[in-house]
A and B are shown apart, each in its own frame.
Chain A
Amino acid sequence: MTEVVATNETILVVGGGISGMTAALEAAETGKQVVLVEKRPYLGGRVSQLYKYFPKLCFPTCGLEINQRRAKMNPNLRVLTMAEVMDIKGEKGSYTASVKLSPRYVNENCTACGDCEKAVETEFDDEYNYGLGKRKGAYLPYRMAHPQRYVLDPNIVETDDGKKAKDACKYDAIDLDMSEETIDFPCGAVIWATGWRPYDAAKIQPYSYDRIANVITSVEFERMADPSGPTGGKLVRPSDGKEARKVAFIQCAGSRDRNYLLHCSRICCMASLKQCTYVSDAYGEDADISVYYIDIRAIDRFEDFYQKVKGIEQVKFIKSKPAAVVADKDGNPVVHGVDTEGYKRFEDTHDLVVLAIGMEPSVDKDDFPVDIQINREGFIEAAPENGGVFAAGCASDALDVNRAAQHATGAALRAIQAVTGAAGVEG
């Protein structure tokens, strides 16, 4: 049975992405007791799946390394991975959280030596790479995964591979009898930092994501650009592995659209601008990049980056919400639409189409454990009726990493206010 030491002054942070980690660490480094609950087997969330950050084009793993070191060294922070909050009862200052822990089948003896991975054979779609690659049934989700501990795919537990993994382990780290458990513990405040998921691109039928192999999403493209990713950093067409030199980015794929997501997902303009640099870095003068957009939302200091990308000769911007993407006889995606600057009809063939996919909050609007104010898009609004539950990062709105970290730092203070019950606190 997993033991969690907690009191009514403990802060529960739900979600271990950049927002959850930030909130948890800021609170813990101020001397508060924090329990961080993460659904995945490792921390870092979607940030861990990014190759570069805009606008500096620096590497997310660099900041993640700092945050992970902070997490490893902080005695005030307890991290539970493969854990999900099932229920929260009570009120500000005295909640009880029920958390379901899924079995990892690997205990803390694991040294991440990798022997189990070598021993097993069956391969599965790699979630970390959005299914673009394969991983084995005994795996480390990615090289920097924290906790640095292997995971067994539940599908191999009762197979030969499960046994092989167990036999290969010299440290008695594999426990095939591990089972799901639910634990209850008290907390005084909850930071809800469950982040976002990419909008289901298949729902945007005119863009043929589910029908044309060479139409992919921006999150998939990001994995492709990563040298440690599924293609070794090569920007290629999924259909035939050929170089993708002529690339179209379709903005607002799912966002700002009554049929899909009403809101603007904020990050997609900057993400596509960043990804333009991937293509131009990879193919130089042979790159041919089109960005189809409604408005380029390179807000505040990001304007510099927009100007920089605008200055790349191989990038052109077309004000248009494309009508459709269809495949030509060779399987190339053809983007159809009207360039609204001058109303010119276009029909442009590309090697690859990247959908700048919208950000959908991972907040279950219809089944949230406590009474809370959630807007029609599923983001949590700050409101007194939320009691001791505070949203952080993309659970509150479509935010970029910098704004998410900023917001999460503030959420840590809100939680501290709630658990310290200082004089003068409003209800």
Chain B
Amino acid sequence: MADEKKFAGYICTGCGIGERLDAGQLETTAKRDGKLAEVKQHEMLCGKEAIQMIRDDIANEGITHLMLAACSRRAKVEAFTFPEVAISRANLREGVIWLRPDEDDNRETTQEMADDYIRMACAEVKYMNKPVPSGEQELNKTLLVVGGGMTGMTAAVEAAKAGYPVQLVAEEPELGGVWTDLYKRVPFQAAAKDVPNGRDVDLPQPEDPGVETLAAEVAANDKVTVHLNAKITKTSGAPGRFSVDIGTESGGTATENVGAIIQASDYKPYDAGQLPEFAYGKTPDVVTGFELEKLAKEAAGGPIKRPSDGKEVKSVAFIQCAGQRSDKEGHLPYCSGFCCTESIKQAMYFKEQNADCDATVLFDDLRTPGAAGEDFYRAAQQAMVTFSKGKATEVVADGGLKVKFKDLILDEDTELDCDLVVLATGQVPNVGPDPYAQLAVEEAEDEEEKAKAQALLENAPPSILNLDYRQGTDLPQLKHGFVDSHFICFPYETRRTGIYAAGPVRRPMDMKQAMEDAVGATMKAIQAVENAGQGRAAHPRVGDLSYPTFRKEGCTQCKRCTVECPFGAINEDEQKYPLFNESRCRRCGTCMGACPVRVISFENYSIDTVGQQLKNVEVPDEFEEKPRILALACENDAYPALDMAAQAGEELTPWARVIPIRCLGSVSLSWVTDALNSGYDGIVLMGCRRDDDYQCHFVRGSAMAAERMSKVGDTLQSLNLEPERVAIYEVAITDTKRAPQLINDMAETVDKIGMSPFKF
């Protein structure tokens, strides 16, 4: 049976389908137009009996391709799982009868809609194949961890505990990274004992930083290989088969093969030299929080001395948000999230040593979230640290130190004398250059633009990963230079498959969070390794075994696929042909949509699986006055919105034919052209939001589509068609009223401008 395709169709007559539609007619359509040899009806196709019937048919008749006409492909998924065959589903319940009013007047058009969905599903499955792994997959359980700080060390130790070997690369001569100088850390746990109405007895106190302990654990772990004073000079390959060149200070290079990568490059302390208003640099007695840790460590439990004269500090002021939460040039616009508890901890260093030392924290909003955070704040209050809601404006170093500030409670300008000022400065992500800054140089349209892009790039930091990727050397960045991810529900998804960012490189955070973040990133890296080993896709199309292939003889080496892939998955060979890296691919199909010569396809999703659907819709001639509107809807948002519109009893025009697509980015212009040429009267494209707050699960797919579709005007013009016939919208999953309305609007537009002249 190896290559022989055997098709069968099953039509459900349950849930009102049988009452609302002529099932005999549907069966005839499937046989006559869909060319299915075998078509069966069942009154409850998802029931045990029918499922067994289908299973038996697969086993006994050697069925390889199933067309199931029942409910939405989102419903009854567990029942309709037949892993050994290719399946298409015609959505007769949500897609037809639930969206159409049950009236005699509508019977004919509703039936036509259903017949078309049968034709479409038959056409789709004919061009589908059940995907099988390519054979390219490799299992390599070793993880590369980049960064020797608490984030990286935690990742290494946790991976090892799960049985995965680690190559850890650190730039520094010893482990610890930015945390090396810590005297103590902010406590990880809240108070255990509750004292109703009494004084708290066991509030958390500053604790051992644990850096040395963890470093010793890493060093002693035989599953972890540590490369110190080392940098990554080249990373090539893909999940499951990365090859990494590690350069050492001595000039030697080691090449390691790894399955996945964790970038734990942490942060760089903000350069306080940009804060002259606080006299930083003018006097050694104004220090940053990072520098105070060194002073505290040197004091080793004794009195902290001020740098200028070695005198014991009797009064100290902490200026929160120094150079942060500010739109001034050179300041950080964001909050670094860790500085409030850091200053609390440092104020307690002074109080611990000398209860009479005045420690004042000047803050705007004190941010100590959670149970441990708030308890630690209480601990400082118990230790008599002074918290003052005030905005520091200036530090005057004139013999002593004077902090001028606006007291926000008393609403007056005032000042404070002290021996030492600590600036709670922020974290700057330790990243390489943004790949899209690199692409911008290449894509620049004129010399001026190129020069600008080049200048930006030259100011960028050196690469951390040195990826040998078509789309740049490092992880893409988001706002403020932090790397992916931007998703709320999927915090680890980056645009470089198999490479996970952990710790302050992806958002500012404290040590506890960085260590927890490392555990999660390690989980994802392990998962990536396991999935790559089986040729299965990573999030969000987890488990998908399909992968993109291309017909080389048709390829024009235009490079659009290699540039537009949101995941930088496609490289180019010496002749500029695309080199797909299957395990870097997320199966969104953006490459397929980008390809002007239609040579890219997946076994279960291709130009034909969609193109043949739209071509197999029956387009009545002009005089029947039955327009046809094609809607291509993102399978994750717009399509579910239409399903839920159906549940809610919304109405959809009977002229609509909806096809779910993986991502708007996968839409080929040829589908649009074909549809227009076949006499469709209108086309509605529904994808996800595409700006800074993008909701496209393939990040740039929806944006790419919008860009491409801006050129649809040319096609329309060449066909002498009105521009209104093609519309592209951002649709959210909650748009249960709006999604059908947009399609209905197109029906109205067609009503106004008239039918397409391209009906044959």
Which A residues are within 8 Å of any B CB, using their own CB?
A: 18, 22, 26, 29-31, 51, 53, 56-67, 69-70, 72-74, 109, 111-114, 143-144, 148, 170-171, 226-228, 256, 258, 262-264, 266, 295-304, 307, 319, 340-343, 373, 375-377, 379, 381-382, 397-399, 401-403, 405-410, 412-414, 416-417, 420, 422-426
Contacts and interface: CB of A to CB of B under 8 A. Distances in A.
A59 B375 contact: no
A58 B637 CA distance: 12
Given A18-B489, A263-B370, A304-B334, A413 B733 contact: no
Interface in B4-59: 14-16, 44, 46-47
A384 to B, nearest CB: 13
A405 B542 contact: no
B524 interface: yes
A420 B81 CA distance: 29
Of the listed residues B163, B221, B693, B697, the one surrounded by the most CB atoms of chain A closer than 10 A to its CB is: B163
B636 to A, nearest CB: 6
Interface residues of B, number: 97
A417 B161 contact: yes
A38 B77 CA distance: 20
Contacts of B158: 413, 417
27 contacts: A22-B489, A63-B487, A63-B488, A66-B540, A72-B77, A72-B78, A109-B47, A111-B75, A113-B14, A114-B647, A227-B736, A297-B365, A298-B365, A301-B479, A375-B190, A375-B372, A376-B190, A381-B188, A397-B372, A399-B370, A406-B492, A409-B491, A410-B520, A410-B522, A413-B523, A417-B161, A424-B223
B370 A341 contact: no
Interface in B338-384: 363, 365-375, 378
B225 to A, nearest CB: 15
Contact of B162 (A299, A379, A416): A416
B479 A304 contact: yes
A298 B335 contact: yes
A413 B77 CA distance: 28
Nearest to B509: A300
B489 A401 contact: yes
Given A111-B71, A300-B335, A301-B507, A376 B733 contact: no
A50 to B, nearest CB: 10
Nearest to A422: B163
Contacts of B276: none
A416 B374 CA distance: 32
A65 B733 contact: yes
B507 A300 contact: yes
B583 to A, nearest CB: 15
A398 B368 CA distance: 11
Given A26-B524, A58-B689, A143-B648, A406 B367 contact: no
Contact of A29 (B221, B543, B636): B543
Contact of B734 (A227, A342, A399, A413): A227
A407 to B, nearest CB: 6
Contacts of B509: 300
Interface stretch (B119-127, B230-238, B526-534): B526-534
A108 B166 CA distance: 45
Contact of A73 (B77, B335, B337): B77
Contact of B543 (A74, A263, A343, A412): A74
Given A405-B489, A409-B524, A29 B531 contact: yes
Interface of B: 14-16, 44, 46-47, 71, 74-78, 81, 158, 160-163, 188-194, 197, 221-223, 325, 333-337, 363, 365-375, 378, 389, 408-411, 479-480, 482, 486-492, 507-509, 513, 516-517, 519-520, 522-524, 526-527, 530-531, 540, 542-543, 636-637, 640, 644, 647-648, 688-689, 693, 695, 697, 732-734, 736-737
B527 A398 contact: no
B519 A410 contact: yes
B373 A264 contact: yes
A372 B463 CA distance: 45
A421 to B, nearest CB: 9
A66 B662 CA distance: 12
A406 B518 CA distance: 9
Contacts of A22: 489
B648 A65 contact: no
A292 to B, nearest CB: 14
Contacts of B189: 375, 381
Contact of B367 (A299, A379, A410): A299
Given A63-B487, A300-B507, A407-B516, A29 B163 contact: no
B14 A170 contact: yes
A164 to B, nearest CB: 18
Contacts of B697: 66
Given A62-B732, A413-B519, A111 B370 contact: no
A420 B334 CA distance: 41
Given A63-B490, A341-B411, 13 more contacts: A69-B77, A73-B542, A73-B543, A143-B647, A262-B374, A264-B370, A264-B371, A295-B366, A301-B482, A381-B189, A406-B520, A413-B520, A424-B223
Contacts of B647: 114, 143
Contacts of A412: 523
B492 A422 contact: no
Contact of B337 (A65, A295, A300): A300
A262 B193 CA distance: 12
B161 A30 contact: no
Contacts of B695: 56, 58-59, 62
A373 B188 CA distance: 13
Contact of A295 (B325, B365, B508): B365
